[in-house]
Amino acid sequence: MAFIEVRNIEKHYKEIKAVKGVSFDIEKGKVIGLLGPNGAGKSTTISMISTLLKPDKGEVFFEGESILKNPIKIQKKLGIVPQEIALYESLSAYDNLEFWGSAYGLKKAKLKERIKEVAKLIGLEDRLKKPVKSFSGGMKRRLNIGVALLHEPELLIMDEPTVGIDPQSRNHILDTVVKLNEKGMTIIYTSHYMEEVEKLCDKIYIMDEGEIVADGDIDQLVNLVPKNKVFKIGFNKINDDLINSVKNIDGVEDVKIKDGILIIDTNRSEKMINELVDIASLYKLSIESVDIQRVNLETVFLHLTGKALRDE
Amino acid sequence: MDFLKLLRKDFKVFFSDPASVSILLIMPIVLSSILSLALGGTFSSGVRTSPVPIAIVKEYDKEVDNKLLKESFDKSNIGNLEQMDQDMFDKFDIEKLFFDGFLDNKDIKSLITYEILDKKTAYEKLDKGKVYSILILPENFSYDLMTNMMTPYRNKVNLEFIEGQGREIRNTMVKSIISQFFDEISSSSVMKNILIEEGIKRDELDKVIEVLPQFIEEQGNQNIEKREFIDKTVSRKTPITSVQYYTIGMLAMFMLFTAGSHSYELLNEKKQKTYQRQIVAGVKLKKILLSQYVSAVLFLILQQSLLFIFSRLVFKSDFGALPNLITLMIVSAAAMAGLSLLLTVIAFVSENYAVSSVFQNVLIYVLALLGGSYLPLEVMPKIIQTIGPFILNGGIVKVFIQNAMGVSIGKMMPYLISLIIQGVAFLVAGIIILSKKRGVSDV
């Protein structure tokens, strides 16, 4: 029996089908990544797992028991870190931790003890009396996580916990996730930063348009894509003659245009760049940028969906 | 989750916004003080600190009038009125009744001060604004009124009331108070004539004449009775000061603002995702709503208490019996919090602030007008006078004013019941909207 079993869950918002029959299992003590662009259905999926949304169809089982029939069981063992800073910004960090600790049923000495421990873990011991609104984005994110850890949950759901913060705070958060997992906590981590998912997750589910399009560990996912390279070439102008000529290069398997950049999927080596220069000369075009990429999760995602993970 | 922790959080969050708190707690104090001082003149007892000065011109001579009266009695053929001795004359001395019994009465003196002047000086003072009006008691004033009171005859008395410019409202009050006195005299005279006519009809005039002195004495005593006059001033109730009125009026209006302000809180929480976080932590929506309701009640009571205490300490205002006042504060806060909860639910299920915003920016001002927060309902059109006390804030104004006037809880029960019904109706409407619009567990 898996720690969490998600069985064919669906969710509609009026005409829009946000999640279309998603199923997966989560083993205890693992870090699971949900990877996908905005609107892929990640947040809706975790909202259903966390009892916030009721699935239109399907079931979620926590330790073998339906969370629809008994939501309290998972609620007691679940910590959730929403994508938004879900804190009372006008209150102090201490007041927030105290309130949320109480919400999770902690009382008196235990509550004080946990506030102290969590404040140390998130590196905010010296700022507890300050109002949250005076915090930097990174500090707020850390407190947002701290609130979810007060009751020592067995399952932690983190929905894009590093959005919009400085590298130092991001590293602190990623290190915290690693530490928590080392202590045995099961974590569901959603992100559209592939490097975070690559670093943290034992298993990754790639979502797009409400569906899981692939799953596995990093190696399994990378193997889904032929050992190709991706050339991203910026020309001063792209026309049909150029595209057709590039497609005719030996070893080129696919050519796409994104944001004025020609994206070429090929099994050729870096030397293919010489042929691209020749084609540019032929059509009196100039090459303005060159980026040659190895296969990674971004490439996998691009390969599977034809989309980039995030708009940059 | 411990309900008190939830409540404490709601209170802390509400108090953490200094702008809202100052608007809801400080503004009613400031506005009620300004309005009380600025519009004090429109209230009968607003003159407690500045009674209306008037001049009285006596064009009659009391000695002459008394002499005339005695001569009339001597020539009278209505019967033997000699039973009315000098003591009786003194008891029913109209001048004594008017000046000593009425105008010098402590309560009337807080409304009107007078000085007896000759006509020329009175006009000069009126022109200079030193008196607001002149009351001219005409020639034979005493004789005519005594005749009306003590004989079957009825002489016409033409009082003249000359008003200074720009003092219309306060002069209207003075006229009304003075008219009340003469209406009493007039009705006593009519009663006496009916008694005599009845005696003639039944051929028992002798018996009537026997009891007439006692009847006249009773009428005189009644007129001297202080409360009779005070209770029959403009509003026919114990007057309240402008400070009392505007403290209550502004309180009712700012209670509406508190209800409106509170209605934003739950949707704010939903938008900031703290609501969802509470739900995932296992906190039930009904507990969250109960906390919203109770925090609104407590804030409203705090708002009321601060305003009443300020008015009491600074203006020495009396808002009536304390146990009753506390009861009214709780009932009105509970009813207003019901409205707040309904607005909260509407904002929450519709996921926008439109209704709360319209309430805050438009509806409150209309309700404040209809409820008598700006001006007493007595000066409003009849329709508003009728419906005003039965809208939420109007009912609140009504019961607090009645309490300040010494009216018992029993007598204000229709308004109290109306407040309770409205409070419950708002709560029920909120629950119905919530259950209809919200899915079983979705948030």
CA–CA separation, A238 vs A236, rounded Å? Answer: 7
Residues A213 and A273 reside in one and the same domain: no
Residues A210 and A126 reside in one and the same domain: yes
In a domain, A303, yes or no: no
Domain boundary among A173, A192, A223: A223
Residues A26 and A107 reside in one and the same domain: yes
ipTM of the predicted structure? 0.77
Residue type, B121: T
Nearest to A26 by CA among A172, A183, A204: A204
Question: Which chain B residue has its CA at the smallest distance from A51's CA?
Answer: B280
Residues A264 and A283 reside in one and the same domain: yes
Residues A106 and A252 reside in one and the same domain: no
In a domain, A278, yes or no: yes
| Residue A277: strand, helix, or coil | helix
| pLDDT tens-place string over residues B77-121 | 554 455 555 555 666 678 888 888 888 887 788 888 999 999 999
A204 pLDDT band, cuts 50/70/90, is very high
Residues A143 and A165 reside in one and the same domain: yes
Domain residues for A280? 229-294
Query: Residue A203: in which H helix or E strand, if any?
Result: strand A203-208
> What number is the average pLDDT over the span B221-228?
44
Q: What is the pLDDT of residue A87?
A: 96
A87 touching B, CB under 8 A?
Answer: yes
- CB–CB of A87 and B2 under 8 A? no
Cβ atoms of A292 and A270 within 8 Å: the answer is yes
Domain count across chain A:
2
Nearest to B248 by CA among B382, B395, B378: B395
**What's the alpha-carbon Rg for chain B, to the nearest Å?**
30
A162 touching B, CB under 8 A?
Answer: no
B374 pLDDT band, cuts 50/70/90, is confident
CA–CA separation, B152 vs B135, rounded Å? Answer: 27
A110 touching B, CB under 8 A?
Answer: no
In a domain, A78, yes or no: yes
Q: Which ranges of B81-164 does DSSP label H, i.e. alpha helix?
A: 86-91, 94-95, 106-109, 119-127, 141-150
Residues A205 and A245 reside in one and the same domain: no
- CB–CB of B12 and A147 under 8 A? no
- Whether pTM > 0.80 for this model: the answer is no
Task: Answer with the residue of higher pLDDT: B228 or B337.
Answer: B337
Residue type, B430: G
Give me the residue from B273, B277, B282 closest to A76, CB to CB.
B282
Q: Which two tokens stand for residue A27?
A: 């083993």
Question: Which chain B residue has its CA at the smallest distance from A90's CA?
Answer: B16
Residues A98 and A204 reside in one and the same domain: yes
From chain B, the residues in CB contact with A112 under 8 A are none
Question: Residue A155's domain is classified under what CATH number?
Answer: 3.40.50.300
Residues A24 and A155 reside in one and the same domain: yes
Report the greatest alpha carbon distance in chain A. Answer: 78
Residues A29 and A129 reside in one and the same domain: yes
CA–CA separation, B282 vs A70, rounded Å? Answer: 11
Mean pLDDT of chain B: 82
Domain boundary among A164, A188, A223: A223
- CB–CB of B280 and A72 under 8 A? no
Mean pLDDT of chain A: 89
In a domain, A306, yes or no: no
> From the candidates A46, A52, A149, which should be mutated to test the interface with B, based on the most B CB atoms within 10 A?
A52
- For chain B, the structural domain boundaries read 3-42+240-437, 46-231
- CB–CB of A102 and B2 under 8 A? yes
Q: Dihedral through CA A147, CA A153, CA A158, CA A161, nearest 10?
A: 30
Query: Residue B52: in which H helix or E strand, if any?
Result: strand B52-58
Question: Which chain A residue has its CA at the smallest distance from B288's CA?
Answer: A103
Q: What is the pLDDT of residue B232?
A: 36
From chain B, the residues in CB contact with A98 under 8 A are 5
Reading across the β-sheet that carries A57-62, which strands appear in turn?
A16-26, A4-13, A57-62, A65-66
Question: Residue A286's domain is classified under what CATH number?
Answer: 3.30.70.100
Give me the residue from A54, A103, A131 closest to B278, CB to CB.
A103
Q: Which two tokens stand for residue A288?
A: 């303005």
| pLDDT tens-place string over residues A247-268 | 999 889 889 888 889 999 888 8
Reading across the β-sheet that carries A211-216, which strands appear in turn?
A78-81, A155-159, A186-191, A31-35, A203-208, A211-216
**What are B's interface residues with A at a Cβ cutoff of 8 A?**
1-2, 5-6, 9, 12-13, 16-17, 272-274, 276-283, 439-443
